[in-house]
Amino acid sequence: MSSERWGLGPVEIDRNAARRATKLAAVVLCLVMAVQVVIVAVFTLGPHPLQSVTEVPAEPDAQAWDGAPSETLSLDRQQMTTPYGGGSVDNVTVQAVTNDTHVAFRLEWEDPTADTEIDEPDAYSDAAAIMLRSGSKPPVTMGANGDPVNIWYWRSSWQHSDADPGGDMYAYPHPDSETKPGTVAGNPLSQSTHNQYGQNYYATGFGSLTNAETQPVAANGQRTDDGWALVFQREHETAGDYDAVFEDGEQMYLTYAIWNGSADEANGEKSLSYQFLTLDPGDGTLSETDSADDEGANETDTNDSGVVASATTSARWATRAATNWPAAIVLATGAAWLISYWRIRE
């Protein structure tokens, strides 16, 4: 087969082979670009943006939650201190939205029974909590001495009970009438009615839970077809000593706990996430932390930490390589042209 040839200095070029090699190189170019798009999509799905909205919703079924990314965390029984137990809820799905003044988190989990009445012995309420800490990651053990945490807490009995929570169980006889010392003392757990359904607490370890002087947290829980959907909402700025700080440059660590009343879960008996989520108010990402770094991780998590770290390193390397697209395109296209030209010319 005859072919046209032309010289480029001392090099003689086969024009027919060059044209065919150029076509093949164009195909390789398209494939490289497609592969880059796929790799970047696969390895950048982890971090989810904290969606910005005009008005932060207080309702769990608000339309603003429809487009908000979510993270689903596995829950396990509490096994760090007495009373051990819980674990009846397998996982919780979390979403977050924000605007210039407020932030809100939506939690959803499966629970076939609505446990809202605690007016008799052995009756327990469904409940949920978020533990938050700004800056450095706290111990999962409700903080520690010198490492205070902020806890937002909700009980279904506060919002959905048809009776006086606690009934007469905590009443003491008096010559003139019954006395309820918890109610008189202002204990939030003893109130018969609640103006808001979220409570703001501080803790520095197990057994140190303290009701905060400031109560800026609002909560709203509603039944779904499968369980509960709950929204915690708060302004960015508060006056509390240990309130979570939603400011640029202050990464937030969050973890979650769920109580199932019908499973007799109360106090330390709960379904707990040993995995933290991180929230960066600066760039707006909500993502899982590396399980190898989480305190309180179970033995399985510890054994798998090397695999997780290796996979994370590989993902970062692949992402950097794929996103360095100019170099990848030049190298792949040039190599494809040279190899194709050489083979065709033979």
What pLDDT is attached to residue 9? Answer: 55
Question: Which residue do the tokens 């937002």 mark?
Answer: 152
Average pLDDT rounded to a whole number, residues 112-137: 92
CA angle, 257 then 252 then 319, to 5° = 105
What pLDDT is attached to residue 81? Answer: 92
**164, 155 Cβ separation under 8 angstroms:** no
d(CA 142, CA 202): 9
Q: Is the pLDDT of residue 203 over 90?
A: yes
What are 305-345's pLDDT values in tens digits? 333 333 433 444 444 444 455 666 777 777 876 777 677 77
How far is the first Cα of the chain from the last one, in angstroms, to the nearest whole number?
12
**209, 188 Cβ separation under 8 angstroms:** no
DSSP 3-state helix, strand, coil percentages of the chain (rounded to 5)?
A: 25, 30, 45
d(CA 102, CA 341): 62
Task: Please report, rounded to a whole number, the percentage of residues in the chain having pLDDT higher than 70.
Answer: 73
* Mean pLDDT computed over every residue of the chain: 79
Q: What is the Cα 137 distance to its own chain's centre?
A: 14
Provide the pLDDT confidence category of residue 301 given band limits of 50, 70 and 90. Answer: very low
CATH code that applies to domain 51-283 = 2.60.40.1190
What pLDDT is attached to residue 320? Answer: 46
What pLDDT is attached to residue 344? Answer: 76
Provide the pLDDT confidence category of residue 184 given band limits of 50, 70 and 90. Answer: confident
Average pLDDT rounded to a whole number, residues 62-66: 92
Q: How far is CA 250 from CA 105, 136, 139, 232, 299, in A?
A: 18, 9, 17, 20, 30
Provide the pLDDT confidence category of residue 277 given band limits of 50, 70 and 90. Answer: very high
The highest-confidence range among 31-45, 51-65, 188-202, 322-336, by mean pLDDT, is 51-65
Least confident of 88-102, 159-173, 212-226: 159-173
Which one, of 313, 290, 312, 314, lies nearest residue 301 by Cα? 290
**116, 157 Cβ separation under 8 angstroms:** yes
What pLDDT is attached to residue 50? Answer: 65
d(CA 102, CA 216): 11
Q: Where are the alpha helices (DSSP H) in the chain?
A: 15-43, 156-160, 181-184, 299-303, 305-323, 325-345
What pLDDT is attached to residue 260? Answer: 98
H or E element: which one contains 253? strand 252-259
Average pLDDT rounded to a whole number, residues 223-239: 95
Ordered by start, the domain boundaries in the chain are: 5-44+315-345, 51-283
Provide the pLDDT confidence category of residue 159 given band limits of 50, 70 and 90. Answer: very high
d(CA 152, CA 219): 9
Q: Is the pLDDT of residue 73 over 80?
A: yes
Q: How far is CA 315 from CA 31, 38, 275, 308, in A?
A: 20, 13, 20, 10
The C-alpha torsion from 330 through 333 and 337 to 343, rounded to 10°, is 120
Q: How far is CA 240 from CA 77, 243, 298, in A?
A: 31, 5, 33
Provide the pLDDT confidence category of residue 298 given band limits of 50, 70 and 90. Answer: very low
Task: Please report, rounded to a whole number, the percentage of residues in the chain having pLDDT higher than 90.
Answer: 43
Please state the pTM of the whole predicted model. Answer: 0.69
